[in-house]
Amino acid sequence: MSVRFSAWSLKGLTGDDLRVLTSIERGMINHEYVDVELIASISGLAKDYVEVVLKKLNKLGLVQRYRGSFTGYILTSRGYDCLAFNALVKRGTIVAISETPVGEGKESEVYLGKTSGERIVAVKVHRAGRTSFRGAKRVRGYVADKRHFSWLYLSRLAARNEYEALKILWRERVAVPEPVDWNRHVVVTEYVEGVELSEVPPLSEPILTLEKILAEVEKAYKAGVVHGDLNEYNVIVTKDEDIKLLDWPQWVSSAHPNAAFYLKRDIENIVNFFTRKYGLRLNKELYLSNIFTRLGLVA
Looking at residue 295, its pLDDT comes to: 97
Opening angle at CA 198, ends 192 and 203, nearest 5: 75
Catalytic residue status for 16: no
User: From CA 218, how far away is CA 295, in angstroms rounded?
Assistant: 8
Domain 91-190 sits in which CATH superfamily? Phosphorylase Kinase; domain 1 (3.30.200.20)
Looking at residue 151, its pLDDT comes to: 81
Cα–Cα distance list, 174 to 96, 187, 204, 235 (Å): 29, 18, 23, 13
Quickly name the fold that domain 4-79 has. Answer: Arc Repressor Mutant, subunit A (1.10.10)
99-147 pLDDT, tens digit per residue, is 899 998 889 999 999 999 999 999 999 998 654 444 444 344 544 444 4
45-72 pLDDT, tens digit per residue, is 999 999 999 999 999 999 999 988 889 9
pLDDT at 7 over 70: yes
197-256 pLDDT, tens digit per residue, is 999 999 999 999 999 999 999 999 999 999 999 999 999 999 999 999 999 999 999 999
Q: Which of 181, 229, 242, 247 is catalytic?
A: 229
The model's pTM is 0.90
Q: So where are the chain's domains?
A: 4-79, 91-190, 195-295
The runs of H, that is alpha helices, within 44-76 are 47-59
User: From CA 19, how far away is CA 178, in angstroms rounded?
Assistant: 32
Which architecture, in CATH terms, is 195-295? Orthogonal Bundle (1.10)
Looking at residue 129, its pLDDT comes to: 65
